[in-house]
């Protein structure tokens, strides 16, 4: 085996220091990315894709109708009024659907918000494609102003047939403080 | 022998500058006992509040600080350093080495601890109070919603991690390089084996804990979002990283205890340990499995069914090597010439109570059943059966067993037996009823509870006070032994004891095995 030192004790200690440093690095460069990859692949946590989906197959499956429910909630301390304009939609898999959410900043100061989507049942997350979503970007709003937030989505034709209802829920977070050093991926 | 054969340095500076494994072992043991008293005091406050339903003595926020600090101080301040102290004292004497391999680092790894725990304890007096997110400090409770003292908490976790890693590197370097000629790996006493494996676990997972708290630090102060959903992170990630450290951590706590009991039971059975080889392999298997079962602490986060099943079966698999160990201890006693001195009583108490804790662990490993047990007092009962009756009972056994060798004086056997029985009764009175209230739905970490749990909680509190008081008796017995115990100079304090440490004079001289012994 390779030697880091001629003194056997120093050699053992040096190798163990290497292990220690490697394990510390392992947390950052393996565990964190691996967790995100696994969540994406398995669709756990109902996390949906962060980037716009480009539709390849436009065939609409009219044989079934999926109920889409929209829910919103505000993270603790977030004062915005935020909600869907339509709470329930019935859509066909493959069809392109549009809806609009509204947001109002009732405070006098300008704020920046970030909406985080989550799909339930988690199994459906991989089949819920957003072609356009306000959640892809941060949303700035001047004090006491409001905005309409568009969402365009397609339900995949491969959605398992036992799923009849999908709930899309958004939690809106105040990221005003973070926005300058934003690392937000979605 | 020349005049280099000196004793300890004179004056209090001896303890600051010492590189002697026995001095450092002694300091570790006294330090861990003081932390045991501090963590115990926190537990007494918790049990006093829970003595009756309703808010009685303390504010809920302070109650949360108490449960958090109790767990942190007991795990990192009492149990872990106590076994490091034992390793310092015994490993060189058991493998025929003159000292630890890296004596100066040994001094540093001890002296990091007192300032670290002073720092941690000082958070109690800070604005907003001490950390209050539980000893598992789940994000975002420990990040977004934490008191400002969380930064001090993070720093103290970093420091005690550094101390543990240095201690482990030292133990591995000692065991791998300083065994006496003829002391092959498969001739090492089991205590040395269990510590070697424990040290590898520590080197592997303490950096993971350091990584977790570093991410917390960055989230709190530097605008990253590892655990914050608003920035694309995920609080559940924290739980995965924490338990990737946390599950090996529970074996870090219990494996040295296994080693202690594997030394003591053969002595008082006057038979060699049954199945030495299988004990070594079982220990290594437990260590390996500890890395692939972490998510059984978080069945309720919403894992895919395949994940639940994997972690459930892997967890159940740990019962096999653990069962091998329990079987071997029982078989060692089978048809042995048993006597029941205090160390043996504590070892038997360990054996019975740890097995109960193991069985409740199996119950908890069943994913669908765990949804009911999760975060209830059943979990509290389970881990106190394995932590207290496992680690602390075996630690008490170890002190009674080796104290005569260390200081050349015999402890008071009658007082030792009293300590055992009061501990045993107090412990069971405190924690057995918690199984029942847990199954009936009492959640952990809440300062108030529904009226139907009142009787069991009162019993539990009385038991905890009894158990706490019995440790004062223990402290008295140890001090009385050191100051005025009956002197003994027999090399073998115990008739059936085997191992190199029992070939040394009693009390063990300041320097031992300067010429390595021959091991046949």
**Calpha distance B236→B138 (Å, rounded):** 9
Q: Would you call A32 and B237 a contact, using CB atoms and an 8 Å cutoff? A: yes
Q: In this predicted structure, which of A134-138, B236-240, B448-452 has the lowest mean pLDDT? A: A134-138
Chain-chain contact of B211 with A44 (C-beta, under 8 angstroms): no
Out of B163, B365, B423, B461, pick the active-site residue. Answer: B163
Q: Can you give the pLDDT at residue A132? A: 85
Instruction: Identify all chain B residues contacting A29, using CB atoms and an 8 Å cutoff.
Output: none
Chain B residue closest in CA terms to A185: B232
Q: Does the structure show a pLDDT above 90 at A37?
A: no
The reply to whether B341 belongs to the active site is no
Mean pLDDT score of chain A: 84
Cα–Cα distance for residue pair A19/B121, rounded to 1 Å: 31
Handedness of CA B73, B115, B111, B29 (dihedral sign): negative
pLDDT computed for residue B5 by the predictor: 57
The rounded distance, in Å, linking the Cα atoms of B365 and B297 is 9
Residues from chain A that touch B302, judged by Cβ atoms under 8 A, are 44-45, 122
Query: Is residue B46 within 8 Å of B359, Cβ to Cβ?
Result: no
Task: Tell me the CATH number of domain A47-181, given options 2.30.30.60, 2.170.8.10, 2.60.370.10, 3.40.50.720.
Answer: 2.60.370.10
pLDDT at B338: 95
Q: Looking at A91-105, B15-29, B70-84, which range is the least confident one?
A: A91-105
Residues 6+ away with beta carbon under 8 Å from B129: B61, B62, B65, B123, B147, B149
Work out the pLDDT band at A124, boundaries 50, 70, 90: confident
- Closest-CA distance of chain B to residue A42, Å: 8
Shortest Cα distance, chain B CAs vs residue A156, angstroms: 21
Q: Which residues of A touch B209 (CB under 8 A)?
A: none
Query: Could you report the per-residue pLDDT of A58-73, keeping only the tens digit for each?
Result: 678 888 899 999 999 8
Cβ pair A50:B230 closer than 8 A: no
Bigger pLDDT: B194 vs A180 = B194
Residue A118 binned pLDDT confidence (cut-offs 50, 70, 90)? confident
Taking 90 as the threshold, does the pLDDT of residue B168 lie above it? yes
Residue B31, Cβ density class (10 Å: 0-12 exposed, 13-18 middle, ≥19 buried): buried
pLDDT level of residue A39 (50, 70, 90 thresholds):
confident
Eight-state DSSP code of residue A28: I
| Closest chain A C-alpha to B225 CA, distance in angstroms | 7
Judged by CB atoms closer than 8 Å, whether chains meet at B230 and A75 is answered as yes
Dihedral of the alpha carbons of B417, B420, B424, B426, in degrees to the nearest 10: 100
Task: Tell which wins on pLDDT, A143 or B248.
Answer: B248
Q: Which residues of B touch A111 (CB under 8 A)?
A: none
* Residue B231 vs residue B138, higher pLDDT: B138
Write the burial class of residue B292 (CB in 10 Å: 0-12 exposed, 13-18 middle, 19+ buried): middle
Cis peptide before A36 (omega within 30 of 0): no
Which pLDDT does position B69 carry in this prediction?
Answer: 97
Q: What is the mean pLDDT of residues B318-333?
A: 96
CA distance A163 to B418: 65
Alpha carbon of A18 to those of A11, B113, B316, B373: distances in Å?
11, 23, 33, 40
Q: What is the pLDDT of residue A58?
A: 64
How many CA atoms are closer than 13 Å to the CA of A18, on its beta-carbon side?
8
Residues 6 or more apart whose CB falls under 8 angstroms from that of A15 comprise: A4
Active site (annotated) includes residue B297: yes
For residue A59, how many C-alpha atoms fall within 13 Å in the half-sphere facing its CB? Answer: 5
Of B325, B384, B409, B419, the active-site residue reads B325
pLDDT digit string, tens, across residues B284-306: 999 999 999 999 999 999 888 88
Tokens of B245: 């450290």
* Burial tier of A54 (Cβ tally within 10 Å: 0-12, 13-18, 19+): exposed
Per-residue pLDDT at A76: 77
* Chain B residues touching residue A181 (CB < 8 angstroms): 223
Q: Which residue of A has its CA nearest to B230?
A: A173
Domain assignments of chain A as residue spans, ordered by start: 1-42, 47-181
> Average pLDDT over chain B, rounded to whole?
94
> In the predicted model, is pLDDT for residue B442 greater than 80?
yes
Between residues A46 and B459, the one the model is more confident about: B459
Q: In this structure, what are the phi and psi dihedrals at residue A14, rounded to the nearest 5 degrees?
A: -65, -40
User: Quick one: average pLDDT of B56-63?
Assistant: 94
User: Which residues does B contribute to its contact with A (CB < 8 Å)?
Assistant: 101-102, 165, 168-170, 172-173, 176-178, 203-208, 210-212, 215, 223-226, 228-232, 234, 236-237, 240-241, 244, 302-304
Tokens of A109: 């100061």
Taking only the tens place, the pLDDT of each residue in B108-153 is: 999 999 999 999 999 999 999 999 999 999 989 999 889 999 999 9
- B221 among known catalytic residues: no
- What number of residues does chain B have? 520
Whether residue B447 has pLDDT greater than 50: yes
Closest alpha carbon to B173 in B21, B336, B379, B350: B21
- B231–A122 C-beta distance less than 8 A: no
Which residue in A16, A45, A173 is closest to B234 by CB distance?
A: A45
* Architecture category of domain B22-503 in CATH: Up-down Bundle (1.20)
Examine the pLDDT at B1 and tell me if it is beyond 80.
Answer: no
When CB atoms are compared, the residue of B178, B211, B231 closest to A24 is B211
Give residue B3's pLDDT.
Answer: 46
Evaluate whether A176 touches A81 at the Cβ level (below 8 Å): no
Cis peptide preceding A121, ω within 30 of 0: yes
Q: Which pLDDT band holds residue A54 (cuts at 50, 70, 90)?
A: low
> What ipTM was estimated for this complex?
0.89
Q: Which helix (H) or strand (E) holds B82?
A: helix B80-95
């Amino acid at each position: 085996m390779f030697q880091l030192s001629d003194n056997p004790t120093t050699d053992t200690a040096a190798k163990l220091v290497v292990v220690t440093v490697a394990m510390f690095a392992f947390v950052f460069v393996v565990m964190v990315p691996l967790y995100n990859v696994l969540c994406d692949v398995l669709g756990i946590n109902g996390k949906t894709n962060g980037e716009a989906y480009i539709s390849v197959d436009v065939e609409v499956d009219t044989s079934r109708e999926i109920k889409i429910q929209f829910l919103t909630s505000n993270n603790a301390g977030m004062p915005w009024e935020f909600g869907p304009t339509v709470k329930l939609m019935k859509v066909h898999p493959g069809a392109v659907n549009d809806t609009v959410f509204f947001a109002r900043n009732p405070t006098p100061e300008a704020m920046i918000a970030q909406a985080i989507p989550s799909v339930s049942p988690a199994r459906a997350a991989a089949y819920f494609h957003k072609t356009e979503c306000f959640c892809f970007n941060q949303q700035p709003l001047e004090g006491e102003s409001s905005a309409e937030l568009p969402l365009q989505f397609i339900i995949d034709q491969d959605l398992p047939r036992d799923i009849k209802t999908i709930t899309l829920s958004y939690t809106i977070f105040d990221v005003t403080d973070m926005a300058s050093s934003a690392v937000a991926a979605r | 022998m020349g005049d280099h054969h000196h004793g300890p340095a004179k004056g209090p500076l001896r303890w600051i500058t010492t590189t002697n494994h026995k001095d450092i072992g002694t300091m570790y043991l006294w330090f861990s006992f003081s932390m045991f008293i501090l963590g115990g005091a926190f537990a007494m406050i918790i049990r006093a509040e829970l003595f009756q339903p309703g808010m009685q003595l303390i504010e809920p926020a302070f109650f949360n600080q108490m449960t958090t600090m109790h767990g942190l101080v007991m795990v990192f301040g009492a149990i872990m350093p106590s076994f490091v102290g034992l390793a310092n004292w015994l490993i060189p004497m058991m493998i025929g080495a003159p000292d630890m391999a890296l004596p100066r680092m040994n001094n540093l790894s001890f002296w990091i601890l007192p300032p670290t725990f002073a720092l941690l304890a000082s958070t109690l007096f800070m604005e907003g109070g001490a950390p209050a997110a539980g000893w598992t400090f789940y994000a975002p409770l420990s990040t977004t919603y934490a008191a400002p003292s969380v930064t001090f908490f993070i720093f103290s976790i970093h420091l005690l991690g550094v101390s543990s890693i240095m201690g482990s590197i030292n133990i591995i370097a000692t065991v791998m390089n300083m065994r006496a000629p003829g002391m092959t790996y498969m001739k090492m006493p089991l205590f040395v084996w269990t510590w070697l494996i424990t040290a590898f676990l520590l080197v592997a997972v303490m950096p993971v804990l350091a990584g977790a708290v570093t991410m917390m630090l960055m989230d709190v102060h530097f605008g990253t979002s590892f655990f914050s959903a608003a920035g694309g992170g995920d609080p559940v990630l924290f739980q995965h990283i924490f338990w990737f450290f946390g599950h090996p951590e529970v074996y870090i706590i219990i494996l040295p205890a296994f080693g202690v009991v594997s030394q003591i039971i053969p002595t008082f059975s006057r038979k060699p340990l049954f199945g030495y080889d299988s004990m070594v392999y079982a220990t290594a298997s437990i260590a390996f499995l500890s890395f692939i079962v972490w998510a059984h602490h978080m069945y309720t986060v919403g894992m895919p069914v395949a994940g639940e099943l994997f972690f459930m079966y892997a967890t159940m698999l740990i019962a096999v090597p653990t069962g091998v160990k329990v079987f071997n201890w029982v078989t060692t006693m089978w048809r042995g010439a048993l006597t029941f001195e205090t160390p043996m009583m504590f070892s038997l108490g360990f054996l019975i109570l740890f097995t109960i804790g193991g069985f409740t662990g199996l119950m908890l490993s069943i994913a669908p059943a765990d949804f009911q047990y999760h975060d209830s007092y059943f979990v509290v009962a389970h881990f106190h059966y394995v932590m207290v009756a496992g680690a602390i009972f075996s630690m008490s056994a170890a002190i009674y067993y080796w104290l005569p060798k260390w200081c050349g004086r015999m402890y008071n056997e009658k007082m030792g037996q009293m300590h055992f029985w009061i501990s045993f009764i107090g412990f069971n009175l405190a924690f057995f009823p918690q199984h029942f209230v847990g199954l009936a739905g009492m959640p952990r970490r809440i300062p108030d509870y529904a009226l139907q749990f009142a009787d069991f909680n009162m019993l539990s509190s009385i038991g905890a006070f009894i158990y706490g008081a019995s440790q004062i008796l223990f402290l008295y017995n140890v001090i009385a032994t050191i100051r005025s115990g009956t002197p003994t100079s027999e090399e073998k304090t115990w008739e059936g004891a085997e191992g190199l440490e029992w070939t040394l004079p009693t009390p063990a001289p300041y320097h031992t095995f300067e010429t390595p012994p021959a091991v046949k």
